[in-house]
Chain A
Amino acid sequence: MMENIIELNDVHKYYGKGDGLVRALNGATLGIKEGEMCAVMGKSGSGKSTLLYVMAGLNKVDKGDYRFQDKPVNLKNPNALSRFRKDNIGLIVQNFALIEDQTVFYNVALPLKYKGLSRNKIQKRVMKVLEMLEIADKAKNYPGQLSGGQQQRVSIARALVKKAEVLLADEPTGSVDEATEDNIMALFRKINTELGKTIVIVTHDEKVGNLCDRIIRLSDGRVVNAG
């Protein structure tokens, strides 16, 4: 039986204060098994994206535990979270989150720069990933010169290049057409099976959810169905 690579236990995350307080996560508890490709689904405002960003280490939480590979993640220490993100998480988002005024190569290389790799190593690794995702010829292009699908591939390349164990994707097909959506999901499946990466996809699209191994459903900041 596969071990949980991610475990969240009674996680609370609030935004705002007083009457404006929003309980984005209100005691969310779940486990993600190593090597699985699962979807997190729920209505708008159910907390699925917040849950993903907590798993990515980009959000501090107000309460709760987070264990990664059976080790606690310090959700209150920004530097510890930074190290955690750098070493373990590749994040892919709906709007691609690419730096518009930098080339594809620069965008993909950025995580490796923060890892302190040499220029040669960065060059080799970036080009290898770009070739794998079939966008090596776009290395010198700027994001604005690419299609939505190509930009999402750049985003995936950036997540893959640092060899993170887990890829987290927030609505990765939300900004692309149906054909591209199929391609991207096929790509995720390929990465999952061939590279053995654990993939968590936040989506509201049932079709995307059905392409995953498991669907975790959220409502009002809680996991109502772990699939």
Chain B
Amino acid sequence: MKILFSEALTSIYKSIVLSVLIILIISGSVFLIGGTAGYYTNTQNVLDTFESVYNDDSTRMIVSTMPQRDIYMSREGIEKYFQTLVQLKAKYPEYIQLRYDRSSVTIQHFNGPDKLLYLYDEGTPVKNRNYPLNNLTDLNNVNSLTVSPEFLNIFHLGISEGKDFDGYSKQELTYSKDGVYPVILGHDFAEYYKIGDTFSVVTDPAIPIINVYKVIGFLREGCAILDTYEKSLKTDEGTEDSLIYLDNYMVLPALDYTPTMDLYPEKSKIGDFYYFMYRHYMYMLVVSSENPDKVVWNVNDFFWANGYSEIEGWNIMNIPRSLKIEIDDYFNLLLYCSVFIAATAVICISANISNKINRNLKKYAIHLLCGAKLSTVRAFAAVEVLLLLLISNIIAGVLLFLIGPKVFTFSLANLYNTTVSISWVSIAAMLALDLIVFLLSLAYPLWRINHAEYDTFLRGNE
């Protein structure tokens, strides 16, 4: 055994440049195959987690939109709509109803820079406006997400500092004239606001409802939701573009505004108030079902029966699935690269070992005449390849450990994250590659060793 390693190490040392090159090639190949295999393992786990909430084939997020303004342009219309939602929930208790509105809110004396303000389509911020109607000045529009408290948990929107809306009672989230309500700010606001700060929010410039909000927490950096208003949800295209990053959003709890119908009776006669009411009572449904299309039909039928239309069901899984396809393509490319590099390594090793064997046949003949078995001579080549593979695997393993997570980590905001780590599948893939490289690169050299006429290398006339 000692003589085998001695011979192999000597052989590697004698062709050190080529050996280092081969080691680097194999290391690269093993690194890629290990990372790719790790990815294939991890990505499935991540996707499984994602699907547990947004099941690929069984989840529909249904956003109700009701264009028939005449239906909700009255107190009766609004009350009928609320009642319809209650009936829908009663009929389908498994459906999760979430209040959800993404737009902007008007806040007074905004502390932050312009980049955190809501932008018009042309990209200009809405700032420093005055509303004579409410006698308010220095009003600035900020992106807002108004949601049911449980929305944060369902869409995995984590808090980096402070707390979320859990624990707030229905009473605390019901409108009252002097109420102070919690607000969670996106990550970018953390530089300008701190927990406990308060500010006034004009819920709608056209109606005299002004709320005071107190900062209770900040979202983690990179939190995002899928843009439910984008039609891209219906296709497999678009991933990043379909995300709404919440770093510059204020997340407001959806308040129960029904008391305002009595507090502001004179305003209740104008359409703006009802539009405000409607907007604050937009709903989305998160539904798990083995027959998602049927869910959409059921909801549609239900709303149609109650005089509403245009209920849409979108598969929100399209976006992460689309991203996964993109990442899969990327890793498939890495896999092909790995195989190509491995093939190169096989050719390099085979050529290198074969050359050495051709040079060393006389030496092998000497070993044979000294009593070595032919299998020992074969082992000289095999141990050399094994050593090259061993060194390469150690390097690849260290690289995977040190830089693998950076190279093979992909995330889609808070929705999708895959981090490669060395798993059993990685190790199995690396060993499989090693075995293939070992067998293929030794095939010709071993054949050469087996079929050499060793006496010809000892004869004086050779």
Contacts and interface: CB of A to CB of B under 8 A. Distances in A.
A75 to B, nearest CB: 13
Contact of A115 (B366, B368, B371, B462): B371
A111 B460 contact: no
Contacts of A162: 371
A173 to B, nearest CB: 10
B371 A58 contact: no
Interface stretch (B226-234, B401-409, B425-433, B451-459): B451-459
B373 A78 contact: yes
Contacts of B362: 97
A97 B458 contact: yes
B169 interface: no
Contacts of B435: none
Interface string A68-107: 0000000000110010011101010111011101000000
B369 interface: yes
B12 to A, nearest CB: 14
A58 B373 contact: no
Interface of B is mostly: helix
Given A53-B455, A170-B458, A170-B460, A97 B369 contact: yes
A95 B368 CA distance: 16
Contacts, number: 78
B363 A58 contact: no
Contacts of B454: 58
B455 A99 contact: no
Nearest to B363: A99
Interface in B332-377: 362-363, 365-376
8 contacts: A49-B455, A58-B365, A58-B454, A79-B373, A82-B371, A82-B373, A86-B371, A97-B369
Given A49-B459, A59-B455, A99-B366, 19 more contacts: A49-B460, A50-B455, A56-B369, A58-B454, A58-B455, A78-B374, A79-B373, A82-B371, A82-B373, A85-B368, A87-B371, A94-B459, A94-B460, A101-B10, A114-B3, A114-B371, A115-B371, A170-B458, A174-B460
Interface of A: 15, 44, 49-50, 53, 56, 58-59, 78-79, 82, 85-87, 89, 91, 93-95, 97-99, 101, 110-111, 113-115, 158, 162, 170-171, 174-175
